[in-house]
Amino acid sequence: MRVFFIFGWLSGLVRVFAIEVAGTESLDDYLGSSTALYEKFRKEVRNERLRGAWVGDSFVYRWDEGGKRVYYSVNVKGVKELAFDHEVMARLISEITGNEVKADRLPIRRMRGKDGGLQIWVSKKWYAWDEGGGKLVRVKRKVRGGEGGEVVSPDGKWSVRLLGAGVFLRAVGDDGGGERVLFQGDAAEFVFGGVTWSPDSKKFIVGRRAVVEGRKVSFVESSPEGQLQPKLHEFSYDKPGDKISVTVPWVYFVDGGEVFAPDMELLENPYQIRRFGWRDDDRFTYEFIERGFGKHHVILGDVVARKHVVLIREDSETYVHAYGGYRYDVSGGKEIIWSSERDGWRHLYLYDGVTGRVKNQITKGEMTLHEVVHVDEVRRRILFSAGGEVRGRDPYYKHYYWVNFDGGGLVRVTRGQDNHELLFSDDYRYAVDTVCGVNRAPGYRVIDVDTGEVMVELGDCDLGRIRDMGWQMPEPFMAKDRDGRFEVWGAIYRPVGFDPKKKYPVIEYIYAGPHDFHVPKVLRFWNRGIHELTMRGFLVVRIDGKGTNKRCREFSHFCYKNIVDAGFPDRIKWIREAGKRYPEMDLSRVGIFGGSAGGQNSTGALLHHGDFYKAAFSDCGCHDNRMDKIWWNEQWMDWPVGPHYAEQSNVTNAGKLQGKLFLTVGELDRNVDPASTMQLVDALVKAGKDFDFLVMPGMGHGCAESGYGRWRRARFFSEHLVEGGRKKVISGEAETL
């Protein structure tokens, strides 16, 4: 039996809560059983993550041995020793924290190599390990900049102060009122912010930004701690289509010369102008990003010639993923390394930094650049990571490579066919290679970054007896997309205590954000959102459909003006193909859940594919892209805001709802405007649809991942996907009520 209460109106927003009165697994039982199983598994698993840091040519790391935490130092020749005296370290940390610390359970969560030694993070502060003196020395933070917000020139003679629309200059050491006003404007029209001095200290760039009354989002905190009455909150939050203010570069001269203004014809419809930097005494560069992200340019300003020219033009009929791009200026800008998807894959190109001419393409072929790790200007080569080059394997698996500036000499550093994560020494000669995968426990080794040769084996993650205790190894699975052209990869997480003779309801955990891929490629024995469902008899899947990132341009850009698609035809085909191979998947009982963009996606599953998905649990969704943050949505949906925004809105399509829907939102969500969920609720009510809705007071973005939210999610799916009622976990085994 379900009893619904409506608690009146709060700032015009209806508050609806569903209260369970049926005898089911209580919140305490849910959290208790989940924690008990997690702890049972955790006690078996050793070294799932490797925590460590390079100190010169030695790697300092923590290794779990029989329940004890031991810190070792190993050099590249394989000589291994204790990193420090554990008893001494325990005493020193105890003195800092005021708590008793055991030598075999040192609470060191972070380490780093700096200034030639080891530093550890204790009580939210960094301490340097003084091995000779056997003590920890507090690392003091360096304070930069001049007094009172002033910025001092490189030669130390001049200081600039910005105040509102004013630019003020004084000689350093002149406290006798010698400050000059280089410019004073109307602060109601524009303001200045940020100073970048030229190397010769004769001029400087300041950012000038027009004053625009930006959008404010308001919400009410219904139950604030320490007071009875509600509290009103307001914060700045630009949305797609809003009028925005952009910082542009102006150059001022110490001698009072004529200001050098930007060429606004080159900056038409700007979203952002960034990375102001001097190339030499008289020339500087900056980047222009157009609203809608169709253009990303590098512009050169010349204060002597008094002109601005475009060096690099990256234009697209869809979008340029500017925040996923890469730029590196070689030799002060004589050459530029630049990433682009112009040939259909994200690759690197070498530009002439003076003329803007493309000298050559650096990386090539059917692989996608993930990250540039290091540029070696002396040997003119680049260390980078990419996916897709190893055929027949998951194209998201990452490998590391060297390549020369001219595009020759491509060498894969990492060996084998698994996924790799490298942690580099400061000089990039060595790295700790974490070899991992969807279904491979991590292994750790020290490698030579030039050759890929394994120098020292550190060991492997030990999963202990958890498989004998019912834990199931995730399984990667691939099926072709809706058109049979592209590989679609995902993972299957089977129920705890899995029995292949039984039928299990299937739940997809979705997040289809186009900025990245989202199926984990590093094995973790416990993913709370997934495993709390698998321990209750659900089979969970994760999938990266078309429209997600780090694939070829055609695959990724499928999301352009098409967020509503979310790769669902690919996902549905993938699940059906998996169901053919694994008959334990009951495709008559398929649910879906997600948060943020995943909240939008999971609700969209019932609006547009309700014949396949039967139940959706959607948290803090951006249900209408016009209601969400400006940068994320204009990046994929373009600008100006066109009719496609409304056409793809969950609010517009609310009347199409099929199946069972549970919506949640935190009333203090600052990531996605909570009103986006409220407007969907309003549309569903007007359409006469039956659904559940929970507002969580005092909580922000991702409230459904709280203990209470996860409990409600499991109960919801148990009610609507489990034959015969909900499930209750007793001693780690599922029992039908």
Q: Which of 11, 119, 12, 40 minimizes the C-alpha distance to 470?
A: 40
Q: What is the pLDDT of residue 734?
A: 38
Degrees to nearest 5, angle at CA 614 with 609 and 615: 110
The single-letter code of the amino acid at 156 is G
Q: What is the pLDDT of residues 183-240, one digit of tens each?
A: 999 999 999 999 999 999 999 999 999 999 999 999 999 999 999 999 999 999 999 9
The tokens of 436 are what? 């991992």
Question: CB-based contacts of 446: which residues, under 8 Å, 6+ apart?
Answer: 59, 74, 76, 430, 431, 432, 433, 454, 455, 456, 458
Q: What is the pLDDT of residues 676-720, one digit of tens each?
A: 999 999 999 999 999 999 999 999 999 999 999 999 999 999 999
Cα(385)–Cα(420) distance, rounded to whole angstroms?
A: 9
The tokens of 711 are what? 């409990």
Q: What is the pLDDT of residue 559?
A: 98
Range of the domain at 601: 471-736
The tokens of 261 are what? 């203004």
539 found inside a domain: yes
453 found inside a domain: no
For a pLDDT cut of 70, what percent of the chain falls above it? 94
Q: Is 70 left (phi over 0), alpha (psi -120 to 50) or beta?
A: beta
Cα(699)–Cα(676) distance, rounded to whole angstroms?
A: 16
Q: What is the pLDDT of residue 24?
A: 75
- Say which residue the tokens 């698993």 belong to: 45
179 found inside a domain: yes
Is 420 within 8 Å of 393 (Cβ atoms)?
no
Helix (H) or strand (E) segment spanning residue 96: helix 86-97
Which whole number is the average pLDDT over 154-162? 96
The tokens of 464 are what? 């202990």
Q: What is the pLDDT of residues 536-589, one digit of tens each?
A: 999 999 999 999 999 999 999 999 999 999 999 999 999 999 999 999 999 999
The residues that bridge with 531 in the sheet, in sequence order, are none
Q: What is the pLDDT of residues 171-187, one digit of tens each?
A: 998 766 689 999 999 99
DSSP conformation letters of 158-206: EEEEEETTEEEEEETT--SS--EEEEE--TTTEEEEEEEE-TTSSEEEE
Q: What is the pLDDT of residues 109-138, one digit of tens each?
A: 899 999 999 999 999 999 999 988 999 999
* pLDDT at residue 90 tops 80: yes
Query: Which pairs count as long-range contacts for 553-558, CB under 8 Å and 24+ apart, including other chains?
Result: 553/341, 553/344, 553/345, 553/346, 554/344, 555/486, 556/514, 557/318, 557/319
Q: What is the pLDDT of residue 145?
A: 52
Q: What is the pLDDT of residue 143?
A: 57
Q: What is the pLDDT of residue 66?
A: 85
Boundary of a domain, candidates 261, 292, 321: 261
Is 681 within 8 Å of 693 (Cβ atoms)?
yes
* pLDDT at residue 54 tops 60: yes
The tokens of 538 are what? 């659900």
Inter-axis angle of helices 568-581 and 597-608, to 10 degrees?
80
Q: What is the pLDDT of residues 347-380, one digit of tens each?
A: 999 999 999 999 999 999 999 999 999 999 999 9
367 found inside a domain: no
Q: Where is pLDDT greater, at 46 or 146?
A: 46
CA R_g for the chain: 29
Give yes or no for a cis peptide into 640 (omega within 30° of 0).
Answer: yes
* pLDDT at residue 737 tops 70: no
Q: Taken in order 595, 597, 598, 602, is the CA torsion positive or negative?
A: positive
Specify the 3-state DSSP secondary structure of 707: helix
Q: Is 175 left (phi over 0), alpha (psi -120 to 50) or beta?
A: alpha
Boundary of a domain, candidates 197, 230, 261: 261
* pLDDT at residue 67 tops 90: no
725 found inside a domain: yes
Which whole number is the average pLDDT over 630-640? 97
663 found inside a domain: yes
Q: Centre a 10 Å sphere on the Cβ of residue 371 and count the other Cβ atoms it contains.
A: 12
Q: What is the pLDDT of residues 504-540, one digit of tens each?
A: 999 999 999 999 999 999 999 999 999 999 999 999 9
* pLDDT at residue 2 tops 80: no
DSSP conformation letters of 585-603: EEEEEEEEEEETHHHHHHH
Cα(364)–Cα(302) distance, rounded to whole angstroms?
A: 34
Cα(511)–Cα(212) distance, rounded to whole angstroms?
A: 34
Cα(253)–Cα(273) distance, rounded to whole angstroms?
A: 21
Cα 429 to Cα 115, 385, 449, distances in angstroms: 18, 16, 5
Cα(106)–Cα(61) distance, rounded to whole angstroms?
A: 12
Question: CB-based contacts of 256: which residues, under 8 Å, 6+ apart?
Answer: 180, 182
Which whole number is the average pLDDT over 325-330? 98
Q: Which of 183, 143, 139, 138 minimizes the C-alpha distance to 160?
A: 183
Q: Which of 553, 516, 552 minimizes the C-alpha distance to 318?
A: 553
Cα 382 to Cα 360, 368, 371, 379, 449, distances in angstroms: 14, 15, 11, 9, 12
Specify the 3-state DSSP secondary structure of 291: coil
Averaged pLDDT score across all residues of the chain: 93
Boundary of a domain, candidates 200, 228, 261: 261
- HSE at residue 88, side-chain half, CA atoms within 13 A, is 13
Which whole number is the average pLDDT over 425-445? 97
Which whole number is the average pLDDT over 143-148? 53
Which whole number is the average pLDDT over 91-112? 96
Q: Is 23 left (phi over 0), alpha (psi -120 to 50) or beta?
A: beta
Helix, strand, coil % in the chain, rounded to nearest 5? 15, 40, 45
Is 33 within 8 Å of 729 (Cβ atoms)?
yes
End-to-end CA distance of the chain: 15
Cα(618)–Cα(602) distance, rounded to whole angstroms?
A: 6
Degrees to nearest 5, angle at CA 325 with 477 and 639: 95
- Say which residue the tokens 């352009």 belong to: 560
Q: Furthest-apart CA pair in the chain: how many Å? A: 88
Q: Which of 557, 642, 548, 551 minimizes the C-alpha distance to 320?
A: 557
Report how many domains make up the chain: 2
Cα(465)–Cα(390) distance, rounded to whole angstroms?
A: 33
140 found inside a domain: no
542 found inside a domain: yes
Q: What is the pLDDT of residues 605-623, one digit of tens each?
A: 999 999 999 999 999 999 9
* pLDDT at residue 148 tops 80: no
